[in-house]
Structure formats: C-alpha cells, structure tokens
Chains A and B, each alone.
Chain A
C-alpha cells in the first residue's frame, strides 16, 4: 500500500494530536509551526518538524509542500493565515487539503480557496457531550449521513433474556444489530475480580441479550432513539 505523506500546519492541541496519531500509525508526517518550542516538543514523534511560516510561498516550496498527499491546516485562531496557507497549498498542488474550522465565515472562504474538507472538532465534541447527557443510554454515535448513524446502545430491560430472533429488532425498530459488546466478569486465582470486554461481530439469531450488554446498531437516527 502506498505510504501517504502528510503535512500538518499549526501545532495547537488538534494539530499536535493529529500529527502524533498519524505518526503512530506509520505515516510520514511533516509538521510546521512558527513556534520553535512546539516544534522541539513534537520533533521526536514525527518524520520532520520545521519552524516555518506557512503563509510564505517560498518556504512552502522549499520544504517540498507540493509533493504532499494530504495537508491538514490546523491553524487555531489566525483566520487570515489559515486561508492563505490553504490557498498556497492548493496552488502548489497538494492533493487533498483538510482545514480545521475557525468560524463559519472562515469555513466558507477556506472551501472557496481550495479546502477539500472542513473539520469541526469542537462542534463534534460538543454534540457528543450534549448527547451523552440527553441520551445516557447511547454511549457512542458515528454519523454516517444526515439521516443514518451507527450507535452503541445499552440494552433495554425488556430485551434481557431474549435472543435476537425473538426480539426481531430490525422489523420492530428498523435498525440492524451489527455487534454486541459484553462484559465478561472473572475472578483470578488470587481472588481479584475484574471483567474483560468482548465484542461479538455479526451476532447470530440465537444470541441472547442480557443486562449490561450494549448493542451496536445501524439505522436512522430517529429509529435508534426508540432504543434508548
């Protein structure tokens, strides 16, 4: 498989974490920031870390930005710098540019000057936090589209002791169960108790649901809500 080359511009919390995660997963990661201290700190974790001004075209050319496959513009507050960097990277021929949103106007302009994708980390986290209070029985949500989600849901009491065939969740709720997460308690020889989490992917119709189980379901958001 081709090894993608990434460029991360801006070492705030988001940029730093994206760079580190990409590196941990074996990608080639070049990072730039104008803060020398931040560059020194991330240097051991990435392929190359350079103190540079990303709004300077010559600098971007000199570091070979044109050969980059995917650039992540993670400049935190300076809207002008973010937009200019996006524009320059597009002109230099970066294949894909992802830009961290600063505000709605910035997002619009960034898209106009060449961003392929705008990401809204704070908004996404805000949604998750709000949902966790409103639907405490829904533990994780991945949005597939405007309408469809994959969600991890605690099993309703009325489901306990029944198998998937009896429950017929697809017909009754309009969602598909794609996995069951279950805690398997144990006690060690020395008497210490604990549990390990087991995941049963594509469970069969005879699989019984019990207290404490969580089901991973795919379906319309409104239908999944009925399971909470």
Chain B
C-alpha cells in the first residue's frame, strides 16, 4: 500500500528497525534487539524511544549501568518520558 505523505513511517525511517528491536526484545533475543536498535540510532539519533528500548534490553540482561545511560539519553531528548524516568529512578534507588 502506498504510504501517505506525512505518515509515521515516512517521517521516521528508523521506525522499522525500532519495531524489529522490540520484536526481538519481546522474544528474549537480546543480542539481536541491540543490533537492530543500534542501527536505528545510526539513522536517527534523536528518537528517545530507541534509547528507552535499549535501556529495557540492557536492564533485562542485568546490565544496569548500561541501562541507566540509555534511559538518561531518552530523558535528555524527551524530558517528560515517563516510562524512562520510572525505570531510571528504580535503578538509581529512588
């Protein structure tokens, strides 16, 4: 189907990689999830959701320090990112 101009995917070419990243994350394929999400960042380093999802993957892999870095990046781009804040606060111990 032809995408309309201004639709979500045409505005954000990294979306497909982000979705792949989420797919791998949900299926516990953490290495693949990280690969896809890093590729997404190469295309658009200003999308906070990619960093948030990377944070989730690192946290799920018991790598809290890496996860914190990613949540901080997500919040730096989008200061009102509630889920990223919640995860970061929990890891910091707030």
B59 in contact with A183 (CB, 8 Å): yes
Which residue of the partner chain, among B26, B52, B59, contacts A187 with CB atoms under 8 Å?
B26
Task: Write out the residue numbers on chain A whose beta carbons fall within 8 Å of the beta carbon of B26.
Answer: 185-187, 193
Quick check: is B71 within 8 A (CB to CB) of the other chain? no
B77 at interface by CB-CB < 8 Å: no
A180 to chain B, nearest CB (A): 13
Q: Are B56 and A185 in contact (CB under 8 A)?
A: yes
- B22 A212 Cβ-Cβ under 8 A: no
Closest B-chain residue to A210, C-beta based?
B28
Task: Give the contact-size bracket for chain A.
Answer: 10 to 19
A191 and B60 alpha carbons, distance in the complex (Å): 18
Contact A212–B53 (Cβ < 8 Å) = no
For chain B, what secondary structure do more than half of its interface residues adopt (helix, strand, loop), or is it mixed? helix
Nearest Cβ in chain B — how far from A124, in angstroms? 15
Contact between chains at B56 and A193 (CB < 8 Å):
yes
With both beta carbons as reference points, the residue of chain A lying nearest to B31 in the complex is identified as A211
* In the bound complex, CA of A212 to CA of B64 (Å): 11
> B residues within 8 A CB of A100?
none
Q: How far is the CA of A219 from the CA of B59 in the complex (A)?
A: 26
B72 to chain A, nearest CB (A): 18
B62 interface neighbour in A154, A186, A187, A192, Cβ under 8 Å: A154
Q: Is B61 an interface residue (CB 8 A)?
A: yes
Contact A212 B60 (CB under 8 A): yes
When C-beta atoms are compared, the residue in chain B nearest to A193 turns out to be B22
Residue of A nearest to B24 (CB): A185
Say yes or no: A185 contacts B60, CB within 8 Å: yes
Q: Are B30 and A194 in contact, CB atoms less than 8 angstroms apart?
A: no
Our pick among A185, A194, A210, A212 for the contact of B83 (Cβ within 8 Å) is: A194
Contact residue among A139, A154, A191, A193 (Cβ-Cβ distance under 8 Å from B25): A193
CB distance from B27 to the nearest CB of A (A): 8
Contacts of B60 in A (CB 8 A): 183, 185, 195, 212
By a CB distance below 8 angstroms, the chain B residues around A211 are 28, 30, 61
Q: Does A90 contact B (CB under 8 A)?
A: no
**A224 → B minimal CB distance (Å):** 16
Sample of 27 A–B contacts (CB below 8 Å): A139-B62, A154-B62, A183-B59, A183-B60, A185-B25, A185-B26, A185-B28, A185-B56, A185-B60, A186-B26, A187-B22, A187-B26, A191-B22, A192-B83, A193-B25, A193-B26, A193-B52, A193-B53, A193-B56, A194-B83, A210-B28, A211-B28, A211-B61, A212-B28, A212-B61, A212-B62, A214-B62
| Smallest CB-CB A-B distances: 3 pairs | A154-B62, A183-B60, A212-B60
